[in-house]
Structure 1
């Protein structure tokens, strides 16, 4: 299929379903994280790390599948078509979130400041812990473009080696650079494995989902119990299996009309990602300020409720402000390659 044909072909529903699954897990992760900071995540707090190998590998793999045609462009076109929007939104929303956090009472019970002005100066050196994904995509696009003439196996092999080094903490920065090092391989691999995945999708059946889900869950439990996650290649293998699980689940759910809402979420991942931590940090600050105490049973229900509420708020804000330049789009249309509908600009490659 030519690049032109690929750009006009309708996007497969399972891709958006997979992205919908990934963004929901990301939002749930942050809901548990912020509520756990104030001791109100209930029984879900210990489960949060178990999905570390699932959320972002799946997210980056789906982004890589959608990036395959873009890296064949001249870099100037690539920058205007994909990178300029992401870089602008990263700068704008890191600034907004920093100002928002500075205005809130401390979230930490110890009174540690929520943010510092220095984070605005170092946003490219020490990426935002909440918005680093938006910064990673331009970097990954650029690396993929620079390596585009290298043999695919060499690209995948080198980025897999980097993933192993960061996954085993032989390389460690204590910042989102660690996550970027672990997940670059999935973005690069998807660019070249995407056509094969698309060919296999029609053959996926429900029993594949059961088989891979049981296998993944079993391996996660074993590696966690035996503290094997820092053993070289363990995280990479688990994350690879998680991508297979995510894709097979997405393919099956995409065939069921009852799960169209997951596909809808997957077509709006960027506004959800940008907005969702704002209500979470505000709620955490209120809970700390009023020293709210809730029983474990009720606290266990809070993260899913906060997850759903944050997603609905993000979608509502997107509906309200998507037409205002500079909020979810670039403020100057000429910064991007060509006029497109908002959905294409915001979600096509994220």
Structure 2
């Protein structure tokens, strides 16, 4: 596991694989009745501070290229590839869900104003693409600032916390933008931390590994203590708020801040887990494959849950419970089937990505500046490195 240009880092793909599986698990346990009382839901609670922070950390880790883009390049070489799948598949996911709501609640089968509003503010299962668009725009805007200043500004969404209940994109930015910006601005430090965590797996151990493991455990303990202390407090919460939007922050508002702090302290453990898993051959291979194909899984699994589970339940309702008769009234049966449905939908979307023209909805064709010929691998190398590359190429010939 090296950082050479010729070899893809293992732990980021493993981290993304863990992240997307955690997201799928979350949505399944939210869909099937009484899933919250299973050990899967308890396991999901443990994954909560690692699941999406890991995804946005890896996204920020590979977003450094934004620093050297013009605005035109930012759009054509970055935002364009988020925008097209977001618009297309967000509308598909929302419309399939509206059909289910029409059958269950009698809602209109199509609502143009609601769809448009959801598209603009990111209120859908594809919200992560909406967030990536905003986060990359933010990163581009702070590209000329020192890393510490960019990170400090990444906490600015807190100023708008009074509206987080109405606009969930604010809550997402509060929780995940700092992780994204930190990963982009301090990539070298994160790489050094991952290398120190990795050292014992390669038979090496030095003071850097000692401090990396010690710091990780200490940070996790702080985050764990903060979250559990918060969860154990059942009383009313009212914090005076001096900025526009409200007179006081209530429990749901403060909960967002608690999660932000918890995740910031606990995400190093997520990196360490990803590094460790990358050394488990079969598991690493599977998670790396999943982590390198997250887009069809993120976009496909909620559609699969709606069409393959939601529609049959809407048309033929059943009482599903942990004590229900096996198979069609039992929670565990439907939990298992929903994992299968998510896999099927993800594979279908992945296959659609291979179809000419249709596949553009997942991987749009290059436009504008992105059509330019890419630089050769040696473009960013020093003169001595270029001479070495040339000599090696000549030798190979």
Equivalent residue number for residue 315 of structure 1: 347
Aligned pair count reads 327
Equivalent residue number for residue 244 of structure 1: 268
Deviation digits for residues 140-190 of structure 1 (CA, Å, limit 9, x no counterpart): 111111111112111211223535x56xx5452433222123211111111
Query: Greater CA radius of gyration, 1 or 2?
Result: 2
Deviation digits for residues 88-144 of structure 1 (CA, Å, limit 9, x no counterpart): 111111222233233335475x55568733233224433232111111112111111
Equivalent residue number for residue 370 of structure 2: 337
Matches of 1:27 and 1:336 in 2, distance apart? 35
TM-score using structure 1 length: 0.80
Equivalent residue number for residue 125 of structure 1: 120
Matches of 2:351 and 2:195 in 1, distance apart? 34
Structure 1 residue 322: Cα displacement = 2.3
TM-score using structure 2 length: 0.72
- The 5 A counterparts of 1:75-154 are 75-104=71-100, 106=102, 110-111=105-106, 116-154=111-149
Equivalent residue number for residue 158 of structure 1: 153
Contact conserved, 1:97 with 1:278, CA < 8 A, in 2?
yes
Contact conserved, 2:154 with 2:178, CA < 8 A, in 1?
yes
Matches of 2:110 and 2:184 in 1, distance apart? 36
- The 5 A counterparts of 1:1-350 are 8-35=5-32, 39-44=33-38, 47=42, 51-104=47-100, 106=102, 110-111=105-106, 116-163=111-158, 169-177=161-169, 178-204=171-197, 208=213, 211=217, 215=221, 220-226=227-233, 230=254, 234-259=258-283, 260-282=285-307, 283-296=309-322, 298-300=330-332, 302-303=334-335, 305-307=337-339, 309-325=341-357, 326-330=360-364, 332-334=365-367, 337-338=370-371
Structure 1 residue 294: Cα displacement = 2.9
* Cα distance, 1:336–1:134 mapped onto 2, change above 3 Å: farther
Structure with more contact order per residue of length (Cα contacts < 8 Å, sep ≥ 6): 1
Contact conserved, 1:93 with 1:274, CA < 8 A, in 2?
yes
Contact conserved, 1:57 with 1:242, CA < 8 A, in 2?
no
Alignment partner of 1:53: what SS? Answer: helix
- Backbone CA RMSD of aligned residues: 3.3
Matches of 1:242 and 1:23 in 2, distance apart? 18
- Structure 2, gaps ≥5 residues long: 202-209, 235-250, 324-329, 374-397
- Structure 1, gaps ≥5 residues long: 1-5, 341-350
Contact conserved, 1:322 with 1:328, CA < 8 A, in 2?
no
Contact conserved, 1:43 with 1:300, CA < 8 A, in 2?
no
Contact conserved, 2:175 with 2:256, CA < 8 A, in 1?
no
Contact conserved, 1:212 with 1:244, CA < 8 A, in 2?
no
- Name whichever of 127-136 and 212-221 sits farther off: 212-221
Equivalent residue number for residue 348 of structure 1: none
Structure 1 residue 305: Cα displacement = 4.8
Structure 1 residue 46: Cα displacement = 6.5
Contact conserved, 1:101 with 1:114, CA < 8 A, in 2?
no
Matches of 2:218 and 2:110 in 1, distance apart? 41
Structure 1 residue 221: Cα displacement = 3.6
* Cα distance, 1:221–1:300 mapped onto 2, change above 3 Å: farther
